[in-house]
Each structure stands twice: as C-alpha cells, then as structure tokens.
C-alpha cells in the first residue's frame, strides 16, 4: 500500500511534513507521544462530562465540533506514535479484535458488559 491507496499512510505522511516544517521531531519521542495521546484522550472526555449519556441529541453543534477536533488530535498522536514504533495500526487492530473474540466468546457474553475476568 502507498499514500495513494491507504488513508492512514497519507495521514502519516501529512503529519510527518507538518512536524518537519516546525522542527518538532526532536520532541516526538515515543514517551512524549504516548503522554500527549493520553492528554488528548482526556480532553475528548471533557465535553461529555455531566451529560446524561452523551448521545448526539445532547450535543450542541459547537460541542460536536469540539469532540471532532479532540478525536482528530487523538488519531494524529496515535498515528505519529505508531510511525515512531513501526506499528501497522490496521494489523494491530485486527489482531486485537481476534484476541478479544477469544476473551469474549459471543455466545457467553452477549448482552453482558463485565470484564473477561468476571466470567
């Protein structure tokens, strides 16, 4: 795959360019990227604080924009971290889905939200 056919590679390449233009690569260690990812994930949670459920009907247009931007920050830091650590995010996600299918057999857990150690 290449940037022409894979949106994640295209995004990675765009982020590489953005970072290079600002000479920020020196700050983008795996630890720093993981820290930034965690901060952005916490910021994603903020607009939902105190809402009943956070469903779309509870969100104003402004809040939806804020959430979209925080989601983008999370994705961007995740893509940059994966780039630094040579992780294929799609392959990793598929691998994790397969592992979760083993941990949480559908017939056993359907409609039950407990952690696998609770079964």
pLDDT score of 1: 65
pLDDT in tens, 3-12: 677 999 999 9
Mean pLDDT estimate for the chain: 95
Whether 71 and 112 map to the same domain: the answer is: no
Whether 73 and 98 map to the same domain: the answer is: no
Whether 54 and 93 map to the same domain: the answer is: no
pLDDT score of 116: 76
Report which of residues 113 and 66 the model is more confident about.
Answer: 66
User: Which range marks the domain in which residue 29 is found?
Assistant: 1-87
Whether 94 and 55 map to the same domain: the answer is: no
SS (H, E, C) 13-49: HHHHHHHHHHCCHHHCCHHHHHHHHHHHHHHHHHHHC
Whether 99 and 83 map to the same domain: the answer is: no
pLDDT in tens, 92-107: 999 999 999 999 999 9
Whether 38 and 76 map to the same domain: the answer is: yes
**pTM of the entire structure?**
0.90
Q: Tokens 């990812």 identify what position?
A: 37
């Amino acid at each position: 795959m290449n940037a022409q056919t894979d949106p994640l590679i295209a995004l990675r390449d765009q982020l590489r360019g953005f970072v290079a233009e600002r000479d920020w690569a020196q700050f983008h260690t795996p630890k720093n990227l993981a820290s930034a990812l965690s901060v952005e994930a916490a910021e994603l949670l903020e607009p939902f604080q105190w809402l009943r459920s956070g469903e779309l009907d509870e969100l104003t247009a402004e809040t939806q924009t804020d959430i979209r931007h925080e989601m983008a920050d999370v994705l961007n830091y995740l893509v940059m971290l994966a780039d630094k650590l040579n992780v294929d995010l799609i392959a990793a996600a598929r691998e994790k889905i397969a592992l979760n299918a083993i941990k949480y057999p559908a017939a056993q857990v359907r409609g039950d939200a407990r952690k696998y150690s609770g079964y």
